[in-house]
Every structure is written in C-alpha cells, then in structure tokens.
Structure 1
Amino acid sequence: MTNFLQAYSWVNMRFLFEGMWVTVQVAVISVILSFIIGSVLGVLRYVKIPVVSTIVGLIIDIIRNLPLLLIIFFTYFALPKINIHFSVMGSTIFALTIFESAMLAEIVRGGIVAVPKGQLEGGRSNGLSFYQTLMYILLPQAYKKMIPPIVSQFISLIKDTSLATIIMLPEMTYRAQIIYAQKPAQIIPMFLMLALLYFILNYALSKIANIFDRRMAV
C-alpha cells in the first residue's frame, strides 16, 4: 500500500502529466497532418488519374502493411544517413503522419465510394463539374459516414504514440518507465496510472466525436 501511495506523489504525477502533454502535442499535430494528407490521397485514389492514382495506391498499400515501429525506426535512424534529420518529436510526428495518412486514405476513399452514385449524377446534371460535385456534394456526405472509423483511427494514433518510447520520446510511457526503473515496486501503480490517463484521452476524444456526429446529423 505504501508503494502505491508513494508512486502517486506530486513529483511523479507532475512528471507523468508533463509526458501526457507531450503525448497530446504529438497526437494533435499528427492527427491534423494525417487528416489533411489522408484526405488528399484518398481523393486521388478515388478519381483514378492515370498513373498517379496507381502510384499513390501502391505507396498506400506498402505503408499500410508495414509495422509502425519500423517506420519510426526508419525515420529516426535511417533518414539521417541521407542527411535528413528530425528531432525525436519530429521523427515521431513524421512517422505517425505517414502511417496514419495511409490508413485514412483508404477510409476516405471508401467513404466516397459509399455515397450513392445518384449524388454524383445529380451534381453533374445541375451543371457542376466533376471536381465541384466531389468537393461540395460527395465529400461532405462521405465525411459524415467516416466519423466512426476516423475517430477509431485517431484513438489508435494516440495509443501508438507510446511506441516512440523506443527512441526516447519523453511521453507518458517513457516517463513511467523512468519512475519504476528507479523504484521497481512502483511498476504496478505506474501501469494503472498509464491505463487511466490513456483511457481519459481516448474517452474524451470519443465523446467529442459523438457530439460532432450528432450535430452533423441534424
């Protein structure tokens, strides 16, 4: 019982909360970038531009079938060999963005395909170009359908930030390891606190998404 109480001292908790802030920063930046890039890639796959769409599809399929940890390693350890240097946080954001963009691209493409073809035909019959129909009719409807899988992917992204502990990103998991490395008896309370903090982040995201989903449904 004493170890549990000592594990949750103000010093340890402040140390973990600082790591939580790093996790949030990395997740927010990666979410924004991957949403933008994933949307563009998903649209490129949908419109089937000769050669371009094929190349984009091949790149997406390759990335989606690679372990995220391998992409993190490649970004942090391999890219400097060709004079491309990132900080630890930069490497994490870059790797997460690349991986999540590929995942979101397929979600976006699938969401657009799920919109009834009559919507495209209706837009074209009203004088809109293909790309105007795509931007103003198809995508808004597709994004409504995509909210659940996109949120699920973003929740996975938040959890995946913990993989960056391997390159010593000072996020929650890495800081928890430092704490229980000094006092091994505190490993269980640290894992319990990590579970609670990750749950809070992901549960809050899911609730925000539910509110957003209901408002879009009106």
Structure 2
Amino acid sequence: MSILSDAYSWINLRYLLLGLGVTIYVSLISIVLSAIFGLILGIIRYSKIPVFSTIIGFIVDIIRNLPLLLLIFFTFFGLPELGLRQSPTSAAITALVVFESAMIAEIVRSGILAVDSGQMEGARANGLTYWQAMRHIILPQAISKMIPALVSQFISLVKDTSLATIIVLPELLYRAQIIYGQDSRYMLPMYVIIAAMYFVVCYSLSRVAKRLEKQLN
C-alpha cells in the first residue's frame, strides 16, 4: 500500500493532471481543425472537380497510408530543415491535423455517397444550385450517417496524442514516464491511472456523440 500511496501522491497526481490538460488541449484543437479540413477535402473528392479532385484524392490516399509516427517525426525534425521550426505542441497538432484530415475526408466522402443520389437530383430539379443542395440537403443527411465513424476517429485521435511522447510533448504518457523513471515500482500504478484517464476522456466523447446522434435522428 505504501507504494500506491507514494505513486498516487498529490504531487504526482497534479503532475499527471497537467499532462491530461495538454492531451485534451492538443486533442480539441486537432479535432476541430481536422473536422473542418476533412469536411472540405471530402466534399472536393466527392464533387469530382476536374484535375483538382484527382490531385486531392492522390494526396489524401498517400497520407492515409503513412504511419502517424512518421508524420510526427517529419513535422518536428524534418520541417526545421526547411526553415519551419515548431514547438512540440505545434508539431504534434500539425501532424495530427494532417493525418486526421485525410482520414476524415474519406469518411465524409463515404457518408455523402451513402445518401441516395435522387436527393441531389430532386434538389437540382427544384432550382437549387449544386452547392446549395450539398449544404442544405445532402450534408445534413450525410453527417448523421458519419457520426459513428467520426467518433471512432476522434477517439483514436485522443489516444494517438500519446505518440507525441517521442518529441517530448509534455502530455499524459510522457509525464507518467517521468514519474516512474524516478522509481520503477511506480510503473504499474502509473499505467493503471493513465489508462483510467484515457478511458474517462474517450468514454465521455462517445456519450456526447451518442446524444448528438439521437438529436440529429
């Protein structure tokens, strides 16, 4: 019991909570930005704009098939060689947004494809332009179909912030490693508590999404 009480001292818990704050901060910014960019890219891919959609589709497919860890390394260690130096936080957000935008773009494209093509034809027949039909008719229906996949992707994003430990981002896992680096006996207690913290954040996100899905339906 003394090991647990020492491992879970207020100093250590406070240190972990600060790391959780960094994890949530990076996750929220990445979720918002990747949702915006992913939506735009997904619509462009679906719309089949000559040449442009093909180029976007090619880039998205490349990014989706790259390891996220490689993108994190590139943004932190590679971009400074091109004169674009970033802090660990900015580099992590950049890598997450690039990767998740590509993943969400495919979810958006699939969600739009799941809407009956007659919806677009009917909207155009009633005088709406293509983009008006997309905004007012197609996207509202598609979003309700996308929610489960989007939630899974956002939950993965939260967990993937732990990969930024490799570039010394002071998030939850990095701080846990600092703590049990001082005493190896704290390793198991640290892993248990950070697992609980990740669970609380991810489960809360899934509950919010389920409530939103019910409201949209």
Normalised-by-shorter TM-score class: over 0.9
Offset, 1:4: 1.4
Instruction: Show the counterpart of 1:117.
Output: 117
**Structure 2 CA distance, aligned partners of 1:206 and 1:5?**
32
Offset, 1:127: 0.4
Offset, 1:103: 0.1
Cα shift readout 1:25-58 (whole Å, capped 9, x = no counterpart): 0000000000000000000000001110000000
Instruction: Show the counterpart of 2:7.
Output: 7
User: Counterparts in 2 of 1:122-137, with a 5 A limit?
Assistant: 122-137=122-137
- SS of the equivalent of 2:86 reads coil
Letter in 2 for 1:41: L
Instruction: Show the counterpart of 1:95.
Output: 95
**Structure 1 CA distance, aligned partners of 2:189 and 2:76?**
31
Letter in 2 for 1:67: P
**Structure 1 CA distance, aligned partners of 2:76 and 2:88?**
7
**Structure 2 CA distance, aligned partners of 1:34 and 1:130?**
24
User: Counterparts in 2 of 1:147-158, with a 5 A limit?
Assistant: 147-158=147-158
Q: Unmatched 5+ residue regions in structure 2?
A: none
Cα shift readout 1:179-202 (whole Å, capped 9, x = no counterpart): 000011010000000100000000
Instruction: Show the counterpart of 1:48.
Output: 48
Instruction: Show the counterpart of 1:205.
Output: 205
Offset, 1:118: 1.1
- SS of the equivalent of 1:84 reads coil
**Structure 2 CA distance, aligned partners of 1:73 and 1:134?**
37
Displaced runs of 4+ in structure 1, greater than 4 A? none
Offset, 1:107: 0.1
Instruction: Show the counterpart of 2:160.
Output: 160
Question: Over aligned residue pairs, what C-alpha RMSD do you find?
Answer: 0.5
- SS of the equivalent of 1:32 reads helix
Q: Unmatched 5+ residue regions in structure 1?
A: none
Cα shift readout 1:75-112 (whole Å, capped 9, x = no counterpart): 00000001011111000000000000000000000000
Instruction: Show the counterpart of 1:192.
Output: 192
Q: State the TM-score, normalized to the length of structure 2.
A: 0.99
- SS of the equivalent of 2:62 reads helix
Instruction: Show the counterpart of 1:139.
Output: 139
Aligned length: 217
**Structure 2 CA distance, aligned partners of 1:47 and 1:119?**
15
Offset, 1:135: 1.0
**Structure 2 CA distance, aligned partners of 1:141 and 1:84?**
40
- Alignment of 1:20 onto 2:51: no
**Structure 2 CA distance, aligned partners of 1:63 and 1:182?**
38
Letter in 2 for 1:156: S
**Structure 2 CA distance, aligned partners of 1:150 and 1:132?**
24
- Alignment of 1:71 onto 2:63: no
- SS of the equivalent of 1:96 reads helix
**Structure 2 CA distance, aligned partners of 1:3 and 1:59?**
50
